[in-house]
Amino acid sequence: MSVLTHPITRRVASAFGTLLGVAVLVFIMLRAIPGDQIIAQFGIETGDMTPAQIAALREYYGLDKSLFAQFFSWIGGLFQGNLGFSARAHLSVSELSANSLPVTIELAVLTIVLSLLIGVPLGMLSASKRDSIRDGFGQLVGLAGLSIPSFLLGSALLGWASAKFSYNPNGKAFVTLLENPWLNIQQMAMPALVLAFGIAAPIMRTTRTAVLEVRSLDFVRTAKAKGVPPRRLQYRHVLGNALVPIVTMTGLQFGYLLGGAIVVEQIFSLPGIGRQVLIGIEQKEYAVVQSTVLVIALGFVLVNLLTDVVYRLIDPRVRAA
């Protein structure tokens, strides 16, 4: 097997192509939004500026260059480890991401744990007796999780907890897990629960489908005939062989959470990387948005690669292939 046809080489090439595509797409989409960083920062005061002042500001922000020059200047900076600078925060994008990415990762990990604790048992419960009342209940919960928007559920939960119990830990300044573990868990609990309600739904449906498929296979009927206890059969033989699609769905949802929790982070005032993108868009800070989206895309790619590694650990057939 040559180096060019090796699976790892193909994976790396595919990841690089994905990141390049994301870079081009986000660069074009940002320039399609009306306005620029000067207008976003100075607002109506821009009308009082002289042409020389505006020209100086365009040169300072690099807006006087052609789009091709801006793109390759940004890409060149990336290869040198320079993700750009935020004039609003007076910090580099690397520093901003180093502060915000751990918040989003913590939220994503907590959300995935809650989603698996909800989705997998509920999916197995639904699959234990197809087309029964318990199956209908599981399907109903899954449909509700897919249908109710996270911003609506988050706003309702936050408003209810604040009005009913005067409980709103997210109204306080955010603290990290190392600074104040108890307050940090309180600040993460509601947003993680809101996100988990939606993420658990596809995990539940995937678990149900995978378990029903495995239960129809010959080795399960053979195990039943040999008198394998139902609990052992369900968890060791059935669930163990249904893990690949569940891991796939979990990996996809974790990757989504790295950039898809923007609205929830905004509602609960979490300084995550999604909120960093949102503020960057509002302020038209091109370098912040471009580089942060690329960081999110890199995280998604790494999660997919990690998912492939997990495949090989749990499924001998994948290792053989």
pLDDT tens, position by position, 176-221: 888 889 999 999 999 999 999 999 999 999 998 888 888 877 777 7
- For residues 273 and 100, the answer to whether their CB atoms sit within 8 Å is yes
Q: Where are the domains of the chain?
A: 7-92, 94-320
Instruction: Enter the pTM of the model.
Output: 0.84
- The yes/no answer on whether domain 94-320 falls in CATH 1.20.1600.10 is no
pLDDT tens digits for 257-315?
887 788 898 889 899 898 888 888 888 888 888 888 888 888 888 888 888 777 777 76
DSSP helix/strand/coil, 152? helix
Residues forming beta bridges with residue 85, ordered by sequence position: 92
Q: Report the chain's C-alpha Rg in angstroms.
A: 24
CA distances from 267 to 97, 151, 163, 190 (A): 20, 7, 16, 11
Q: DSSP for 218-280?
A: HHHHHHHHTT--HHHIIIIIIHHHTHHHHHHHHHHHHHHHHHH-HHHHHHTT---HHHHHHHH
